[in-house]
Amino acid sequence: MSSTDDLPPAIPAMWRMVKRGYEAEPRLLVVAFGLSLLAALPDALLALWLMLLADGVLEANRTMVHVAALGLGVSATATWFLRVMSDRTQRRFRDRVTIALESHVARLQASVSSIEHHERPDHLDRLAVLRDQVFVLDHLYMSLFTTAGWILRLSVTIGLLVSVHPALALLGLFAAPTVLSSTWRPGVERAAEERGAQAERLARHLFQTATTAAPGKEVRVTGIGERLVADRRAAWERWYAPVAAARWGSAVSHTVAWTVFGLAYVGAIVFVSSGHDASPGAVLLVLAAGARLSAYIAATVGEVGFLRGIWLDGSKRLAWLEDYAAGLVVDADQPAPDRLTEGIQLEGVSFAYPGTDRLVLEDVDLHLPAGAVVAVVGENGAGKTTLVKLLCQYYRPTRGRITVDGVDLCSIRPDEWRARLAGAFQDFFRFELVARHTIGVGDIPRLNDEPAVVTAVGRAGAGDVVERLTAGLATQLGPTWPGGVEVSFGQWQKLALARGFMRDAPLLLVLDEPTAALDAETEHALFERYADAARRDPGAGTNGRITVLVSHRFSTVRMADLIVVLDGARVVEVGTHDELLAGGGRYAELYRIQAAAYR
């Protein structure tokens, strides 16, 4: 369960957001802020013109009446004109800063060398709230401008009241509880929302499962529609119950605060009207200014509450993400090697995912020789994918170290190391782009290099997929796009394999169960072709490429130079297929069991 306790302080986070907006659009921010203040001033002076008008009429002072009438006219015109100018300037600022903020958040998440924030539930909850808020952060600058305008109106109004009698300044004091309630209640409600964020994410997931096309066939065949609806409702209730309780509690305190101010306002009117030296204009000023004071306080409180509940909260999460990304900048100053001569060595490597104590890998000692085709096998949950994540530098070992030709992997710059990697994964992503780009993103510098894409298609054996596409590599993938076509899971899988083969000379080629959906014999044939291609590829011979094939099927990796058997988070056997069969150990036992199952 995520907590807001370790988020950065609100005011520094807000200041960082202001600086972020200024860096994106300095001129528009200054102009928008200035116009917000200018638009507030004529409106706040309305009570003054009403007082002068009343006193001028009663005293038959035509000059005072003319001044008051002119003031009312100028204030009304200026308020309208400045408000229109302010709204349009703020809208332009909002549109431009939206792109900057969304790009900033996306860049921060993409730049983090680890994938921990994508896999830890507490980080996922926090990021889920931030993703919801980032689309309204642009409005929050407008809220800041508006708040400044309301505060100016409030200050001018209190000044006018004090000009009638100093004691009327107490109205501002009696308004303090409404401000305190407004700044406190959104934080309480937001904390309750975040405590239940996991249940809300579950409710959204169940709703999408029940209403989107991808799971539609299985939902209908299995008849689980009613169950999804019921479970979604239950998850929503688990989220909403504490949120509703928090909202009721804060609403009670807010009501009490406004009751206090209302009584004080009534008392102020009685106090002024009963005074012997108060002019009718002064009483009218208190009536007008007092009424506006309540409106200004309500507006200020509302904006402050919005700032406190969303803007400050969102800015704190954005500041947390910035700090998180900065904190994970690894102290790595070594370049990635151009070739491998010795290989990759794991020395006493243990790993537990952040936030857990269970070791997924424990005391792993392993040597992956340069130029070798290495198969990593084991039953589900043995730690195969985790090993791949460590090799790709998605995480650092909890204990021990990984060296590349004797150099600690943690000291190699992650971006340079990953530029020398290639591969395909079981949980591949479906890039709904033009087919050429769906494959080409595997090597961004050659995104539009069609010969390179065609070569990758050939390496992956995906030529049959491209041939069936209506416009070949120019086909838009995904039926939700104009001219887009539906692609089967198996076809997506081959396109993902082709994407993994875009780079010509990677130092490490990882195939992490990318064909797990295929039958064992087909997977074996594909792996055998990949291994043979890796051995025959001239680039592999010159740069010492290591090819890692990951599978839970023992019978599909017989061709590997080295087979690593993982069991219970440990490496239990290492050797060739013949050596491991002759040894009669875990590999031989599981190999025979699986082979018998496929007969």
In 59-120, which ranges are continuous DSSP H helix? 62-111
Q: In the structure, what pLDDT confidence band is assigned to residue 41 with cuts at 50, 70 and 90?
A: confident
Average the pLDDT over 541-570 and give the result. 84
At a CB cut-off of 8 Å and minimum separation 6, what does 207 contact?
232
At a CB cut-off of 8 Å and minimum separation 6, what does 501 contact?
422, 424, 442, 455, 456, 459, 460
Residue 443 near residue 503, CB atoms below 8 Å: yes
State yes or no: pLDDT of 334 exceeds 80. yes
State yes or no: pLDDT of 4 exceeds 60. no
CATH architecture assigned to 10-327: Up-down Bundle (1.20)
Site of tokens 């479906």? 430
At a CB cut-off of 8 Å and minimum separation 6, what does 499 contact?
424, 428, 431, 438, 439, 440, 441, 442, 456
Least confident of 5-14, 15-24, 89-98, 471-480: 5-14
pLDDT in tens, 361-384: 999 999 999 989 899 988 887 888
DSSP codes of every residue in 273-298: HT-TT--HHHHHHHHHHHHHHHHHHH
Instruction: Give me the percent of the chain exceeding a pLDDT of 90.
Output: 15
Q: How many CA atoms lie within 13 A of 592 on its CB side?
A: 9
Average the pLDDT over 438-461 and give the result. 90
Residue 98's CB is within 10 A of a number of other CB atoms, namely 18
CATH number corresponding to 336-420+507-599: 3.40.50.300
At a CB cut-off of 8 Å and minimum separation 6, what does 67 contact?
52, 56
Dihedral (CA of 240, 246, 248, 250) sign:
negative
Residues of the chain with CATH 1.20.1560.10: 10-327
Q: In the structure, what pLDDT confidence band is assigned to residue 30 with cuts at 50, 70 and 90?
A: confident
With residues binned 3-state (H G I as helix, E B as strand, rest as coil), the percentages for the chain, rounded to 5, are 65, 10, 20
Question: Which of 500, 507, 499, 593 shows the shortest CA–CA distance to 554?
Answer: 593
Cα 159 from Cα 165, distance rounded (Å): 10
Q: In the structure, what pLDDT confidence band is assigned to residue 256 with cuts at 50, 70 and 90?
A: confident
Question: Rounded to the nearest 5 degrees, what angle is found at the Cα of 313, between the Cα atoms of 307 and 316?
Answer: 120
Give the start-end residues of each E strand in 405-556.
407-408, 421-425, 508-512, 546-551
Site of tokens 């700032």? 307
Residue 46's CB is within 10 A of a number of other CB atoms, namely 20
Using H for helix, E for strand and C for coil, what is the string for 70-83? HHHHHHHHHHHHHH
The enclosing H or E element of 513 equals: none
pLDDT in tens, 476-522: 998 888 888 988 888 888 898 899 889 888 899 998 887 665 666 66
Cα 453 from Cα 474, distance rounded (Å): 12
pLDDT in tens, 91-126: 888 778 777 777 776 666 666 555 554 455 555 555
State yes or no: pLDDT of 563 exceeds 90. yes
pLDDT of residue 84: 86
Residues of the chain with CATH 3.40.50.300: 336-420+507-599
Cα 237 from Cα 300, distance rounded (Å): 33
What's the farthest any 2 CA atoms get from each other in the chain? Answer: 117
State yes or no: pLDDT of 68 exceeds 70. yes
pLDDT in tens, 267-311: 877 887 776 566 777 777 777 777 677 677 777 777 776 666 555
The enclosing H or E element of 368 equals: strand 359-369
The enclosing H or E element of 320 equals: helix 312-327
Tell me the Cα Rg of the chain: 34
pLDDT of residue 349: 93
Cα 342 from Cα 368, distance rounded (Å): 8
pLDDT in tens, 193-220: 777 777 887 888 888 888 877 777 677 7
State yes or no: pLDDT of 452 exceeds 90. yes
Among 137-141, 144-148, 548-552, top mean pLDDT goes to 548-552
pTM of the full structure: 0.61
Q: In the structure, what pLDDT confidence band is assigned to residue 70 with cuts at 50, 70 and 90?
A: confident
Q: In the structure, what pLDDT confidence band is assigned to residue 1 with cuts at 50, 70 and 90?
A: very low
State yes or no: pLDDT of 562 exceeds 90. yes
State yes or no: pLDDT of 87 exceeds 90. no
pLDDT of residue 129: 52
pLDDT of residue 326: 62
Q: Which DSSP letter does residue 309 get?
A: I
Residue 24 near residue 221, CB atoms below 8 Å: no
Cα 581 from Cα 587, distance rounded (Å): 7
Cα 388 from Cα 424, distance rounded (Å): 11
pLDDT of residue 2: 43
pLDDT of residue 425: 83
Average pLDDT taken over every residue of the chain: 79
Q: Edge-to-edge strand order for the sheet containing 421-425? A: 421-425, 508-512, 546-551, 373-377, 562-567, 570-575
More confident: 139 or 505? 505
pLDDT in tens, 570-584: 999 999 989 999 888
More confident: 252 or 387? 387
Q: In the structure, what pLDDT confidence band is assigned to residue 3 with cuts at 50, 70 and 90?
A: very low
- Distance from chain centroid for Cα 541: 42
Residue 459's CB is within 10 A of a number of other CB atoms, namely 19
pLDDT of residue 138: 65
Question: Rounded to the nearest 5 degrees, what angle is found at the Cα of 102, between the Cα atoms of 99 and 108?
Answer: 130
More confident: 358 or 527? 358
pLDDT of residue 477: 92
Q: In the structure, what pLDDT confidence band is assigned to residue 238 with cuts at 50, 70 and 90?
A: confident
pLDDT of residue 53: 78
